[in-house]
Structure 1
């Protein structure tokens, strides 16, 4: 059955009004193209503009947030919209050393949309380079990715209060740090206890104390506090091989936290993403060097080895608590195949093999290696070792994540 998508003329008129204010001249939308599928939670449109000035782009993107049937009070959907708007508006107003994010042209609370730069007709992302069999192109794309990520973090350092002001102007009910801490403690600690109990392990007070310390350290203001993206997955970027630029998109989960929560995404195998596989260690290390170099532009603690590696280890510990232990609970008795998104033509990605258990094994091992190398978090480290041993016994036929197709010339 074909679902017809209907253009809301009130939204188009509101967009024209915003653009006229933005460019201080008459701005007319002459055509509209739907870029999103009918069942998506956001409507994404390309608006072609009548161009009577060099300052006005030929086209822009309109992204509209929709209420969701599963969100009774509409709070979650509106919160994502507000964060997306606030993140882009904030980043358009701070110094950027590179073109890391799309330009922001305005937002409308009544119709719940934002206007942003059109980054190109074809959305080429890291999914393209990672799932095709070209190692050199994958490494080049990941270099652009880590440079953009580190640069984005450095640009926001010391200015997050501006972001928070913008966010609260859009959403007066935006979560406070204390709200976030309370949620994390109430959500993650019981899941930690459940996982250990299910595996026949004991949760000591020392384990709980380290878990609480990690959560508090990464969420409360500190030496690495920046605006984090929060969902920096392979498909949440726009990669331009020809111009050697890469932009980060979709700031719906952006939040002020420790930079290393984004910075450890490769080490922890893309913890919030459907497109999760492994990357060779020597490649990760070279990419993280690029990232840290960008942080050093603005963050003094990035030059302090102890401070940096402490934050790095704690960030891996956070992903253990938030994206490994809950997954373990969900597949402890039966594995499942995770969802997969769009992939390019000739991609080697196999949706039917996107199992969850390998992610648990790989992330437990990654945290264990990082914490051991840096001699930190001894109680969570011991717990991770015990968990890893227990699940390997239970899941004797399960192997860790394979490398992305781009690196399949190597064995994990």
Structure 2
């Protein structure tokens, strides 16, 4: 920590003190530090492992784009670390969703959806700028937008199913290839990458995004799917009231239609959303299924929080209705019968903030107790 303080202070030509560890991750250390003038800054230092270096480059390039996130006060590519403006101790969207005020939670969700949509729309013509900034801070790793992670997840799914002794339906590999990047070539936009509830601050000045470790350009549908699933790759996953899920999806869509007019067509929008749901369901299955031997909570400390089995079953139920991909849908039904059928877990509950309001079940629930 002392070496981080010295490097950050040298970068700012100012003395920093009183570091408070804000949690960070396995890839980074995040500190709130006091300045000699009585203010504070955020220092984020990264390790030297490949994913840490990718995270540094993405954060430095993504924030330096200047269209979202805290202001960058300095970047040291050698440590590597960034110094950013301190956005304060505002509650996060996760705090609102896990709280008891439905009005605060709903307004937070709408601010989040509109904010991400506005960011996507504003970024459409800035892709070359991000590439230039990536080159400036490059540590030898490709961005997630350039990484073929979706194709790799598809390959991993086939291997995972084979290892589990599940005979996949004919045509699954071809369908996964057809799902592709869910419109990443036709409808790309910038995203901080990890747009989960705990990375969205609800400040007095509005929504502020933090954590740009996976910043890249990807399909707008991969971001929009977070409204419907909800929160496709996150720990703060509960069922949303149906009308709120539809409202926030429309809020995001209304922003991106301005730059991609074709998305006003329901046929185009719904097809892209279904592809994105498939992509994120494959991702969740590959990442989480091997870790469901013990049904542990998705987050080590936050409560309430669902378990991996609860979330996977919810994802598989939704994906089992994607009948334009019949082999994929049947694979999801196989997982529900042959894997989840043996899990004695409760259904995914609704977000605490919305109490007993009817949650979104726009997909048909699948009977996992009978074959066929």
Q: What is the TM-score normalised by the length of structure 1? A: 0.78
User: Structure 1 residues 189, 39: closer, same or farther in 2, change over 3 A?
Assistant: closer
Alignment-derived partner of residue 268 in structure 1: 229
Q: How is 1:139-150 mapped onto 2 (pairs within 5 angstroms)?
A: 139-150=106-117
Partner secondary structure for residue 232 of structure 2: coil
Alignment-derived partner of residue 346 in structure 2: 399
Shift of 1:79: 0.9
- Residue 85 (str. 1) matches residue 60 (str. 2): yes
Alignment-derived partner of residue 201 in structure 1: 167
Alignment-derived partner of residue 43 in structure 2: 62
Partner secondary structure for residue 265 of structure 1: helix
- Residue 230 (str. 1) matches residue 193 (str. 2): yes
- Residue 390 (str. 1) matches residue 338 (str. 2): yes
Q: How is 1:3-402 mapped onto 2 (pairs within 5 angstroms)?
A: 5-6=1-2, 8=4, 10-17=6-13, 28-29=14-15, 31-37=17-23, 41-48=28-35, 50=37, 58-67=39-48, 74-90=49-65, 92=66, 94=67, 100-120=68-88, 122-171=89-138, 173-175=140-142, 180-181=147-148, 183-195=149-161, 198=164, 200-204=166-170, 206-219=171-184, 221-222=185-186, 224-240=187-203, 242-243=204-205, 245-331=206-292, 333-342=293-302, 349-350=303-304, 354-369=306-321, 371-372=322-323, 376-395=324-343, 397-402=344-349
User: Structure 1 residues 106, 308: closer, same or farther in 2, change over 3 A?
Assistant: farther
Q: Distance in 2 between matches of 1:398 and 1:201?
A: 25
Q: Distance in 2 between matches of 1:322 and 1:387?
A: 15
Partner secondary structure for residue 147 of structure 2: helix
Shift of 1:391: 3.5
Partner secondary structure for residue 110 of structure 1: coil
Structure 1 portions without partners, runs of 5+: 18-27, 52-57, 68-73, 95-99, 343-348
Partner secondary structure for residue 336 of structure 1: coil
Shift of 1:294: 1.4
User: Structure 1 residues 179, 104: closer, same or farther in 2, change over 3 A?
Assistant: closer
User: Structure 1 residues 196, 364: closer, same or farther in 2, change over 3 A?
Assistant: farther
Whether the 8 Å contact between 1:368 and 1:381 is mirrored in structure 2 is yes
Structure 2 portions without partners, runs of 5+: 360-372
Partner secondary structure for residue 264 of structure 1: helix
Q: Distance in 1 between matches of 2:144 and 2:296?
A: 34
Q: Distance in 2 between matches of 1:39 and 1:251?
A: 13
Aligned residues: 358
User: Structure 1 residues 196, 384: closer, same or farther in 2, change over 3 A?
Assistant: farther
Q: Which moved further from structure 2: 320-329 or 183-192?
A: 183-192
Shift of 1:286: 0.7
Q: Distance in 1 between matches of 2:285 and 2:76?
A: 37
Q: What is the TM-score normalised by the length of structure 2? A: 0.86
Whether the 8 Å contact between 2:54 and 2:139 is mirrored in structure 1 is no
Q: Distance in 1 between matches of 2:279 and 2:224?
A: 12
